[in-house]
Amino acid sequence: MMSALASPTMLIAAMALFGIGGVGAVLLRKSDRLANYWSSAFALFGSVTALVFAVSMLASGQTFVAQTTSDSFPLLSFALNIDRLAAFFLVTISIVTFFCSLYGIGYIKQYYGRYNIGYLGFLYNLFIVAMLLVVTSSNGIFFLIVWEIMSLASYFLVAYDRHDPENVKAGFLYLVMTHIGTAFILLAFILLYVHTGSFDFTVIQAAMPTVPAHIKDSVFLLALIGFGVKAGIIPLHIWLPAAHPAAPSHVSAIMSGVMIKTGIYMMIRLFLDVLQPAPLWWGIVVLVIAVASCVLGVLYALTEHDIKRLLAYHSIENIGIILLGVGSALVFSALGMSGLAVLALTAALFHTLNHAIFKSLLFLSAGSVIHATGTRNMEKYGGLIKLMPATGLFFLVGSIAISALPPLNGFFSEWLTFQALFQGIAQTDFYIKWLFIGVTAALALTSGLAVACFVKAFGVTFLARPRSQRAEKAHEASAVMIAGMAGLAVLCVAVGVGSSWIIAQLQTIAQGVLSAGDHATLVTVTSGHILSIAEGFATVSAPLLSLLLIAVPLVVWTITRFGINRSQRVTTGRTWDGGTDLTSRMEITSTGFARSIILIFRGLLKPSLQHSVEYEDAASRLIPRSRSVTLSVQDVYRRYLYRPVFIGFIHLSHWIKNGIQNGNINAYILYILVVLLVMLGLVGVW
């Protein structure tokens, strides 16, 4: 039974289902409803099939390899290699796509009559198939093809709501950035090909001892930039806060939840698997980037009042936390501490899974809010929990999970990441120890700020009174949308309670990636699901923690309600208003809430404040007609990093146009002659 489920037929079936969904949607494009149901239903079937396949692969522990290579046409070569790591990412992707497709059935309805639903269904299914192939391919060329399909499909999805010029602009930025990334990846693979003679990952890995160190280092840097663009590390993140809000919400959920993880997947695959053994400084570089991404990511999230941009910046933060695990694993394996490397990689994988779950939950519930209010601006929300209680509850669950508060899943993966860093402090030498002390402090700061940011996000959106007419008329999401969110919310709880079991499974995956045997086991699960690190340095029990956090408040409630003063009268009254009329303008706003934190970190965030006054009479300037204050945070990356490069390119192309490409045929013939001579000379030298 198990072997039947784990057979490649299941994978092919999943791909076929997505294919039928996509092509069928295009054929049914005349009818919006049919196209929506068709494509979403097949995406659901495909996700379930892929999930069953990947879970049974993990359960049986086997590896599936398929290859067709032709030497004359390397472009046609096709190679799949599904080991435990790939199967884990397949599980993550298919869980998220399942619930997003379910949610999509209801969410897509708002596009009926405005856009072509058939093409949306086609691109959506194509996008998922490409993601599934990205994490299973084991050949550089084949990988690049599916990677490009994934990028292009997601580009069209980002620009899908094309009547808003902002979305088209965001899509273009994403297209440019992602291709810069692809260019770097291409260079990395070509370098590897030149020195190993193959695009196949297993062949490259086998030939690794013969590759000179400086080539490996260049491949590392190229791949770090290339995959870093997709993962959204700072400072390569600029497309992320623009593109994620632009896409339809169920697509944003997939992009933020799993697409950016394909960058993480390839970093783990290359740095910890294919390119091993790695020098120590790789890990240090990854750790430094991770610290920058998580601290700056959460700080920028605090400055946002666009709910989807806020969530997008939190994705950057969480990618940083995942990379803390990956970077620590690199450092530990370079120092020969395989047990610690397994611990750090386990933490990274667990946080990957958890972030996929709670971030897609948050994007979906933000999507319901946007659907109900018609705006992404949090200042226009307020009091929504009374109008949309289910969505509010799910957003609350997501907020608790992403803030790493117990007993939900986010806490346990952050706990594990902390343990890896603590062990780094305890067991390494002087300089590396100080590095880990700094990294630990950065992670603690990040998680503290994340709690503040989600108090802001949840409080400003769902609590107090509505601050706009649209918010007053908000309505609850439809049943399928609620079902999609509910599934993810339940998973947040279940993965939290069952975290010790899941961590034990992930540890075997990490051991497989790092080729570390069972002797290198730092995480042990003792009786009663108690998770224990390094022989009792740290222990935690997820079921006990969950039980107590639910039971004790309930006991307190029961005693206060029924034990003391049972005849108490509870009346509903107005909030104390100090004698004035309390309007919704007196509530704290998103900007106001985060202002003190922004001012504390003004050295990093560079906030600016502009006053402007318009007068009734420009000449006398006595009576102001309107006063406005503009608060903003500088985009330092565009200003100091991207703009100079951009200006440089403009200068270069002017120089080429005026200097070299001057329209003079004689000059062109001269160029040809020069090139010919140089080539002849080179041949002579060879």
Partner 1 sequence: MSYLLWIIQIMFVPLVAPLGVGLINSLKARIQKRRGASLLQPYRNLWKLFYKDEVISRDASFIFRFAPFIAMGVTIIVGACLPIFTSTLSTPMSDLLAVVYTLALGTFFMALAGMDSGSAFGGSGSSREMTISAIVEASFISSILTVAFLSGTTNIAVMSAGLSPGSGNFLIPIVLAFAAFCIVLLAETSRYPFDNPDTHLELTMIHESMLLEFSGKRLALMEWAAANRLLIFSILAVNLFFPIGIAHDQAVLSVLLGISSTLLKVAIVYIVLAVLESTIAKYRFFRLPDLLLVAFVLNVVAIGLVL
| Least distance from partner 1 to the Cβ atom of residue 600, Å | 5
Q: How far is the CB of 521 from partner 1 (least distance, A)?
A: 18
Peptide bond into 277 cis (omega under 30): yes
Please answer whether residues 115 and 160 qualify as being in contact, where contact means their C-beta atoms are separated by less than 8 angstroms: yes
Nearer to partner 1, 550 or 678 (CB): 550
Taking alpha carbons only, the member of 141, 221, 244, 227 closest to residue 181 is 227
Provide the minimum distance between the beta carbon of 530 and partner 1 in the complex, in angstroms, as a whole number: 5
Least separation in angstroms between residue 572's CB and partner 1 is: 5
Minimum distance of partner 1 from residue 616's CB (angstroms): 31
Q: Which is nearer to partner 1, 269 or 351 (CB)?
A: 351
Binding positions for partner 1, 478-537, rule CB under 8 A? 530-531, 536-537
Q: Is the CB of 571 or the CB of 630 nearer to partner 1?
A: 571
Q: Which residue of 433, 493, 525, 631 would you call a contact of partner 1, by CB under 8 A? A: 433
Closest separation between CB of residue 85 and partner 1, Å?
27
Task: For residue 597, state whether it binds partner 1 (rule: CB under 8 A).
Answer: yes
Cis peptide preceding 209, ω within 30 of 0: no
Determine which residue in the list 456, 481, 489, 499 makes contact with partner 1, applying CB under 8 A.
456
Q: List binders of partner 1 among 40-69 (CB under 8 A).
A: none
Q: Name the phi and psi angles at 92, rounded to 5.
A: -60, -45
- Binding to partner 1 by residue 475, rule CB under 8 A? no
Smallest CA-to-CA distance from 44 within 405, 599, 484, 629 is with: 484
Q: How far is the CB of 571 from partner 1 (least distance, A)?
A: 5
Q: State the nearest-atom distance from the C-beta of 575 to partner 1, in Å.
A: 4
CB of 570: closest distance to partner 1 in angstroms?
A: 5
- Determine the interface stretch with partner 1 among 40-48, 213-221, 593-601, 610-618 (rule: CB under 8 A): 593-601
Residue 187 or 549: the one with the smaller Cβ distance to partner 1 is 549
Backbone angles phi, psi at 589, to 5 degrees: -105, 175
CB of 304 to partner 1, least distance (A): 16
Judged by beta carbon, residue 96 or residue 597, the one nearer partner 1 is 597
d(CA 93, CA 100): 11
Count CA atoms within 13 Å of residue 539 on its CB side: 12
**DSSP-based three-state secondary structure for 489:** helix
Burial 196-231 (b: 16+ CB within 10 A, else e): bebbbbebbbeebeebeeeebeebbebbbbbbbbbb
By the rule CB under 8 A, 434 interacts with partner 1: yes
Asked if residue 595 binds partner 1 (CB under 8 A), the reply is yes
Tokens representing residue 86 in the block: 């790939």
Determine whether 259 is exposed, middle or buried from the number of CB atoms within 10 Å of its CB (0-12, 13-18, 19+). buried
DSSP classification of residue 1: -
Amino acid at position 250, single letter: H
How near is the Cβ of 440 to partner 1 at its closest, in Å? 7
| Chain centroid, CA 59 distance in Å | 26
> Which residue's CB is nearer to partner 1, number 434 or number 646?
434
* Helix H or strand E segment including 448: helix 430-462
**Amino acid at site 76:** L
| Contact call for residue 365 and partner 1 (CB under 8 A) | no
Alpha-carbon distance of 518 to 90, in angstroms, equals 24
Name which of residues 573 to 592 contact partner 1 (CB under 8 A).
573-577, 582, 584, 586-588, 592
- Enumerate residues 374-403 that contact partner 1 by CB under 8 A: 382-383, 385-386, 392, 396, 400, 403
- Check binding of 459 to partner 1 (CB under 8 A): yes
> Cα-flanking dihedrals φ and ψ of residue 533, to 5°?
-110, 135
Query: Using CA atoms, how far apart are residues 247 and 141, in angstroms rounded to an integer?
Result: 28
Binding of partner 1 by 671 (CB under 8 A): no
Within 599-658, the residues that bind partner 1 by CB under 8 A are 599-600
- Say which amino acid occupies 518: D
Looking at the Cβ atoms of 518 and 535, the one nearer to partner 1 is 535
C-alpha 319/C-alpha 355 separation (Å) is 9
- The amino acid occupying position 294 is C
Nearer to partner 1, 13 or 451 (CB): 451
Instruction: Give dist(CA 508, CA 353) in Å, integer.
Output: 15
Which one of the spans 28-36, 84-92, 442-450, 631-639 is the region binding partner 1 (CB under 8 A)? 442-450
> How many residues are present in the chain?
686
| Residues 444 and 342: beta-carbon distance below 8 Å | no
**SS3 state of residue 675:** helix
Q: Site for partner 1 (CB under 8 A): which residue of 158, 253, 310, 464? A: 464
Name which position in 426, 667, 670, 673 contacts partner 1 (CB under 8 A).
426
Residue 27 binding partner 1, by CB under 8 A: no
The full DSSP string for 352-367 is HHHHHHHHHHHHHHHH
CA atoms within 13 A on the CB side of 478: 11
For partner 1, give the closer residue by CB, 174 or 418: 418
Measured from the Cβ of residue 164, the count of other Cβ atoms closer than 10 Å reads 11
> Could you tell me if 234 and 293 are in contact, meaning their C-beta atoms sit under 8 angstroms apart?
yes
x/- track of binding to partner 1 for residues 541-560 (CB under 8 A): x--xx--xx--xxxxxx--x
Residue 562 is a binding residue for partner 1 (CB under 8 A): no
Q: Residues in contact with partner 1, total (CB under 8 A)? A: 83
Q: Point out which span in 126-134, 232-240, 366-374, 455-463 binds partner 1 (CB under 8 A).
A: 455-463
Q: Are strands 538-541 and 530-533 parallel, antiparallel or unpaired?
A: antiparallel
How far is it, in rounded angstroms, from Cα 187 to Cα 173? 22
Residue (63 or 608) nearer to partner 1, CB: 608
Q: Which of residues 132-151 bind partner 1 (CB under 8 A)?
A: none
Stretch of 157-165, 197-205, 539-547, 635-643 contacting partner 1, by CB under 8 A: 539-547
Sole binder of partner 1 in the list 447, 499, 507, 511 (CB under 8 A): 447
